[in-house]
Structure 1
């Protein structure tokens, strides 16, 4: 790992290597000067042979960006990964004097590229000597220099940004520089027990149950309290199994023990209404649920199936069921009870109306009472539905040979 001096240390090391090695490759470059200036300032005040090393871009290293540092964290521990960076440098050469001798500048550039070709890795001792207090040499990955292909167009844009004349240059990438994160690591405590009674890992030869469908009575689009649901899938058995209904509106899921279905390989789940369960009005809430199966064979962990969506429709009563043209003042009761924050609308024919009031009695076994004002109603028969969180009440009577709109779910205005 390395500290925040890492970028400066990499740049200074690279400069020192070039300054020391290039005159050995070309003895005519004994007066060489290696600078670290922006492109528009690089040549100001200098007449000697010159190589400018300009750090023009710093990018994230994709390979190390989300990787835990070896030796810093162990399995089960978490720590912020190191800041992994690739450094992009531009090497630009000048000859001697104001005439800017191209022959000399080409020799300077060739010597620099040859040096980096022969020494593509920064030496640890060179790094330590380049800048006091830097620890780049101690990081787990060495810093490697590789050519960075750049088109003439890309280089021209870079020179244009500094408003100076373009010169032939070579781009290199230094990878990787790892700057240690200062965020504390989180270490887990030692494991005291592996499973209940320290029994260790438990294996099971059977698969978890899998749900493929939910069949509702009369092919309804939503279930109601009092309905029987038929579940189909694989590995379904009523023994040691629960049907779990989960909703964002409930503080805790509702678990119901299923029974064997009429068809082989199916389960039947009864949603008890207030007759079978006095707490049903407050145990449930109208709206959208997910249904999953939980299997727990004796002595084994819980196996959870996939989840399927299910809408639970409100069951409503309407008063009055008759009226005269004009504003209709309606009072509805709703089971199960409506929870705080639920979105409620009255669908009066093809109109949508928000409630004037919503009241939950102190007795949790009593339904929610809602009042609505529907203005400008003309003579006619209007089917009424209550929509709670996207689940509509079902205004259909299925008792006859043919389904029909239930008379107690319609308001007649005459």
Structure 2
């Protein structure tokens, strides 16, 4: 690669090549001068035959921009790519003074284009002699010159930007210039052992478990603590397997050991409530989860199945369950406990109400306490639900032959 002198080195090399080669092609151009000025300033104070080489645009090279440099880093090592640039040049010709100007300028332009056609690659010795301390000649890719076709519209915009009268010109692209990245690289140490006891790659003929469905009790829309879930799929086996529940609200996933389901090819997962597991109120959070299976065969790497969505509904208590018309002041408790940042709403009949307060007791075994003010309530019976991150509490009693709304999930206003 090369240092920050690379652009200047490429430009000076082109100038030197044109200045030395063009008079050899046309002996009448012995007084030729090659300049590096913007087109609007190039002709000031000059009356000889002239070629102006102007770098008008520098663009990123897409092919090299995200590529590690060959020979610099090896597989497994990281390094920032080099700054890879394409240089766009415009060459413009002038004749001598004002007499015979067009004829001589055309010869100048033809000689320049012929030189670049004959020498499409910049020579290493030419580059080293062009500018002291540059190392463009040492980069892994040589600098190649190719004509850059431009439409009339592109030429018009270009010369309008120069704010000078148009002259017949030709554009070229020099690619690629690779400038060293100064960020430190990271080289990996040699591998001493390939796994435990240097036994190399571990392979297994068995497939990871695959889940196709999660069945909830009573065809509920969400699970609750205390429920049994039925997982169906393929390669399901309760041995050395954990059901993993992931949520964005949890610091770590919750792992539960499943048991064999009643139907072949299924697993049953019990979500322990606060009676069975005193840590359940703080271990879980109401809301949206994904469930997967983590298989851990003895002596082999763990295998993780696909994930399926699951909603965990809050379980609530409501107080009071009766009231008079007007604003209702309700107190609720919620299990599992609500986490910071969760979106919480009370559905009171068809009203959506935000909480007045949310309090988590210091004792992590205790439920979250919430208060709500529900305005403008008239006489009637209102079913109450708590919505946390899109998961609603379930206000239904499934113990009878026909599901009904649970009386402890309703407020009677009379």
TM-score tier (shorter)? over 0.9
Query: Residue in 2 aligned with 1:297?
Result: 297
Query: Residue in 1 aligned with 2:394?
Result: 394
Query: Residue in 2 aligned with 1:194?
Result: 194
User: Within 2, Cα distance between the matches of 1:362 and 1:193?
Assistant: 49
* Correspondences of 1:141-152 after superposition (within 5 Å): 141-152=141-152
Query: Residue in 1 aligned with 2:165?
Result: 165
Preserved CA contact (<8 Å) 1:331 1:371 = yes
Query: Residue in 2 aligned with 1:331?
Result: 331
RMSD: 1.4
- Superposed CA deviations along residues 61-97 of structure 1, whole A, max 9, x for unmatched, are 0110001111221222111110000011111111111
User: Within 2, Cα distance between the matches of 1:384 and 1:267?
Assistant: 33
Query: Residue in 1 aligned with 2:26?
Result: 26
SS of corresponding position for 2:108: helix
Query: Residue in 2 aligned with 1:253?
Result: 253
User: Within 1, Cα distance between the matches of 2:403 and 2:39?
Assistant: 83
User: Within 2, Cα distance between the matches of 1:390 and 1:100?
Assistant: 83
Deviation, 1:261, is 2.1
Query: Residue in 2 aligned with 1:137?
Result: 137
SS of corresponding position for 2:11: helix
* Correspondences of 1:222-237 after superposition (within 5 Å): 222-237=222-237
* Correspondences of 1:328-367 after superposition (within 5 Å): 328-367=328-367
More deviation, 96-105/68-77: 96-105
User: Within 1, Cα distance between the matches of 2:196 and 2:226?
Assistant: 38
- Superposed CA deviations along residues 246-298 of structure 1, whole A, max 9, x for unmatched, are 11221211101112223322222111112222211111111111211111111
Query: Residue in 2 aligned with 1:40?
Result: 40
User: Within 1, Cα distance between the matches of 2:82 and 2:153?
Assistant: 34
Preserved CA contact (<8 Å) 1:94 1:100 = no
User: Within 2, Cα distance between the matches of 1:97 and 1:368?
Assistant: 92
- Superposed CA deviations along residues 371-394 of structure 1, whole A, max 9, x for unmatched, are 111122111221111111221111
TM-score (norm 1): 0.97
- Superposed CA deviations along residues 348-379 of structure 1, whole A, max 9, x for unmatched, are 12222222222222332221111111122111
User: Within 2, Cα distance between the matches of 1:67 and 1:310?
Assistant: 42
Deviation, 1:198, is 3.3
Aligned residues: 414
Deviation, 1:60, is 0.5
Preserved CA contact (<8 Å) 1:61 1:84 = yes
1:281 aligns with 2:262: no
TM-score (norm 2): 0.97
Structure 1: runs of 5+ lacking an equivalent: none
Structure 2: runs of 5+ lacking an equivalent: none
Query: Residue in 2 aligned with 1:109?
Result: 109
User: Within 1, Cα distance between the matches of 2:233 and 2:145?
Assistant: 59
Preserved CA contact (<8 Å) 1:241 1:295 = yes
1:265 aligns with 2:244: no
* Correspondences of 1:49-64 after superposition (within 5 Å): 49-64=49-64
- Superposed CA deviations along residues 287-311 of structure 1, whole A, max 9, x for unmatched, are 1112111111111000111222211
More deviation, 324-333/373-382: 373-382
SS of corresponding position for 2:72: coil
Displaced runs of 4+ in structure 1, greater than 6 A?
none
Deviation, 1:329, is 0.9
Query: Residue in 2 aligned with 1:239?
Result: 239
User: Within 2, Cα distance between the matches of 1:402 and 1:32?
Assistant: 102
Deviation, 1:99, is 4.3
